Structure 1
Amino acid sequence: MQAQRGHLDRAAGDIETGIADVLQPRRVHNAAPQQAPPQWLVTWETRRPTLVMECFAEFLGVFFYCLFGIGASAAFFTTAAAKVEGYGNLLTVGLAYGMGIALAVITASATSGGHLSPCYTIAFWAFKGFPARKVPFYLISQIFGAMVATWCVYGMYKVEFDAIHEALVAAGPIGQASIYTPSGPAGILALFPGTGQQSSYLFLTEFMANLVLAIVVFTCLDGSTFTVSMATVPFVIALSYSSIIWAFAPASVALNTARDLGGRIACSAVYGHGCFTAHKSYTVLACLTNIPATLIGGFIQTTLLSDTAREILHAPPHMMEAARSHNERNGHDGMSLRSPLTRDGLSLRAITRDGNGTGSNEKTGYIPQE
Structure 2
Amino acid sequence: MAEATGVFFYVLPGIASVANFTLSSASPTLVPLGVATFSSLFQIGWAFALGIAFAIITCAPTSGGHFNPAITLSLAIWQGFPWRKVPYYIFSQIFGAFVAGLVLMGMYWTQISEMKAAFIEAGKPLVANGAPASILCSFPNPDQTNLGYVFLIEFFVDAFLAVVIWACLDPANPFVSPAGAPFAIGLAYGVMVWGFANVTISTNLARDLGTRIVAAIFFGREAFSYMTYSPISILVNIPATLFATAYYEIVLKDSFMIIAKGHAQHRDGDTGLVRHLSKVGMIENDEPGTDGGAAQTSAMSSDGVPVKR
TM-score range, shorter chain: 0.7 to 0.9
SS at match of 1:254: coil
Structure with higher helix content: 2
C-alpha displacement at 1:94, in angstroms?
A: 0.4
Alpha carbons 2:278, 2:302 under 8 Å: kept: no
Q: Which residue of 2 aligns with 1:69?
A: 14
Question: Who is 1:261 aligned against?
Answer: 209
Deviation at 1:266, TM superposition (A): 1.1
Q: How far did residue 337 of structure 1 move?
A: 1.9
SS at match of 1:180: coil
**Distance (Å, rounded) in 2 between the aligned partners of 1:329 and 1:307:** 10
Give the Cα–Cα distance (whole angstroms) in 2 for the partners of residues 300 and 368 of structure 1. 31
Change (3 A) 1:239 1:335: closer
Q: Give the AA of the match of 2:226.
A: A
TM-score by length of 1: 0.69
Q: Contact between 1:224 and 1:311, CA under 8 Å: does it hold in 2? A: no
Q: Mapping of 1:103-252 within 5 angstroms?
A: 103-172=54-123, 175=124, 177=125, 179-197=126-144, 198-252=146-200
Matched, 1:99 2:50: yes
State the alpha-carbon separation in 2 of the partners of residues 67 and 311 from structure 1. Answer: 41
Q: Which 5+ residue runs of structure 1 have no aligned equivalent?
A: 1-55, 313-325, 340-344, 350-366
Residues 149 and 306 of structure 1: is their aligned pair in 2 closer, same or farther, counting only changes over 3 Å?
same
SS class of match (2:201) = coil
In the alignment, the residues of structure 1 paired with residue 54 and residue 263 of structure 2 have an alpha-carbon distance, to the nearest angstrom, of 36
Aligned sequence identity (%): 37
Q: Which runs of 5+ in 2 are unaligned?
A: 265-269, 281-298
Counterpart of 2:244, as a letter, is G
Deviation at 1:279, TM superposition (A): 2.8
Question: What is the identity, as a one-letter code, of the residue corresponding to 1:109?
Answer: A
* Whole-Å separation in 1 of the counterparts to 2:76 and 2:161: 18
Q: Which amino acid aligns with 2:158?
A: N
1:337 corresponds to which letter in structure 2?
S
Cα deviation for residue 311 of structure 1 reads 8.3
**Structure 1 letter corresponding to 2:59:** A
What is the CA–CA distance in structure 2 between the aligned matches of 1:335 and 1:222, rounded to whole Å? 14
- Report if aligned partners of 2:94, 2:206 keep a CA contact under 8 Å in 1: yes
Partners of 1:335 and 1:265 lie apart in 2 by 48
Q: 2: distance between equivalents of 1:327 and 1:232?
A: 29
Name the TM-score, length of structure 2 as normaliser.
0.83
Structure 2 counterpart of 1:300, one-letter code = Y
Match for residue 333 of structure 1 among 258, 274, 286? 274
For residues 73-88 of structure 1, what are the structure 2 equivalents within 5 Å? 73-82=18-27, 83=31, 84-88=35-39
**Residues 303 and 148 (structure 1 numbering): CA distance in 2 closer, same or farther, change over 3 Å?**
same
Distance 2:305 2:168 in 1: 27
Return the alpha-carbon distance in structure 2 between the equivalents of residues 72 and 171 of structure 1: 25
Corresponding pairs, count: 275
Give the deviation of 1:269 after TM superposition: 1.4
Shift of residue 93 of structure 1? Answer: 0.3
Instruction: Measure the CA separation in 1 of the matches of 2:153 and 2:117.
Output: 33
Matched, 1:279 2:237: no
> Once superposed, what is the RMSD of the aligned Cα atoms?
2.4
Return the offset for 1:338.
Answer: 5.7
User: Could you tell me how far 1:234 is from its partner in structure 2?
Assistant: 0.6
CA distance in structure 1 between the partners assigned to 2:36 and 2:198 by the alignment = 20
In the TM superposition, structure 1's runs of 4+ consecutive aligned residues that sit over 3 Å from their partners are: 308-312, 326-336, 345-349, 367-370
- Is the aligned partner of 1:307 residue 2:258? no
For 2:76 and 2:67, the matched residues in 1 are separated by 14
